[in-house]
Amino acid sequence: MNVGSCRCRGDRFKIEPDPLFPIDIKHNLFVGWLLMTRSFAYCAAGTCTDVVSVDAYRDISAPVGALENRGASLRGNLKPDVLIVQQLLNKIAMAEGGPTSAGSSGRLQEDGLCGPRTRLAIQKFQEKQFPGKRPDTIVDKAQRTIYRLNQLAAPEVDDFLKAKAVASLGIVASYLVRTLARIDLVRLSWMTPNAQFNNTKEEARLNFHFHLDRSSDKRRDLDMIRRTYQTMLAASGYVPKGPNQKSAFGFLDTRPKEALGEVQYAWAYAGGFLYLQGVDGHSALHETNLRADQIYLSRSLLNAHEGAIIYAITHELAHFCGGVHGDIDYIEDRAYFHKDRKKCEKLDAYQAMTNADSYGQYNWEVNRNTHYQP
């Protein structure tokens, strides 16, 4: 819908599956064997939770709406479509760019007419949500404005995202179990260096990501790597239930800093699982104080594929399950393999084993036989 010129094609509004969300889910025989019952109770940290398995996972879209797309037709905006935009805008809080100068009490009149007040409301929303980009007052099907309107206006998206994250935890846990088993194969080959237990292929894959051939004590460093994965496995099962039990996962609608121009997909306090339980922290990325014992997923992940959610959770678990800032096992973002492979390859052993992406990439390659690419 081109609210500025009121010239567009007459396609009717409808809610469709997101084409960016593939339903195809690839999984291996190990995952199928582990999760053959379709669901299981995974226990850790003194609690248990029922986790949906990979077979029961349904990768569907968020309730994202679609308005008319601009085209050569000279037909005006359809009244039902304009009405939908007005209704969505009226659900947006002023702090998020909702209408501030239209209708009584700041609300738009929901009349389906594309007037100056509606155009001004869309302009203000775009200025707030997309800083640094010139507002065009256009609301097109499958474009950023209608996606953001639906994300902010529909309160169920947080529950939807949480359900997807919890469903993904079953896959995350199974991947970590397999990764730990592969690490133990390497440890066994080092303990009994003979042809029977030799596993040069697995050792080479581990070394590719953690550079243990550059270590002064590779057995010591391997123990830290394994301990981190073991803690990640424990944290992946920590989703308590009940009226007085906190959730292991929190959710924020994160936005890019204007100067950075990058989207935040997930975030966690380093050392939050082991050392910051019950602690409130403060992030430079967000204005509010956050609980430090949670992992935060952004609504930006609603438009991501199933693998991206799994990888994002695994990556944040590495931060979450290492040490706090200043500790020797503090895990930070030193380099991303899919962004700068050469930088990753230059890391020494200590840098590699305290790099969150190293844990994510090795875990991904063990389970999917390839490097992760967004």
Q: How many domains does the chain have?
A: 2
The pLDDT tens digits of the residues spanning 92-110 come to: 888 888 886 544 467 888 8
pLDDT at 65: 29
Q: Do 144 and 164 reside in the same domain of the chain?
A: no
Q: Same structural domain for residues 148 and 183? A: no
Q: Is residue 222, in this structure, part of any structural domain at all?
A: yes
Under-50 pLDDT residues of the chain: 1-75, 102-104, 242, 255-262, 285-287
Quick check: is 373 in a domain? no
Entry pTM: 0.60
Residue 186 sits in the same domain as residue 262: yes
Establish if 38 belongs to a structural domain: no
40 within some domain = no
Regarding whether 100 and 170 lie in a shared domain, the answer is no
Together in a domain, 224 and 82: no
**Among 153, 184, 210, residue at a domain's last position:** 153
Same-domain pairing of 193 and 306 = yes
Query: Is the residue at 74 inside a domain?
Result: yes
Same domain, 182 and 148: no
Residue 121 belongs to domain spanning: 62-153
Instruction: Identify the domain boundary among 153, 184, 207.
Output: 153
Predicted local distance difference test score (pLDDT) of residue 157: 63
Domain presence at residue 53: no
Q: Is residue 9 part of a domain?
A: no
Give the Cα separation of 69 and 88 in Å (integer): 17
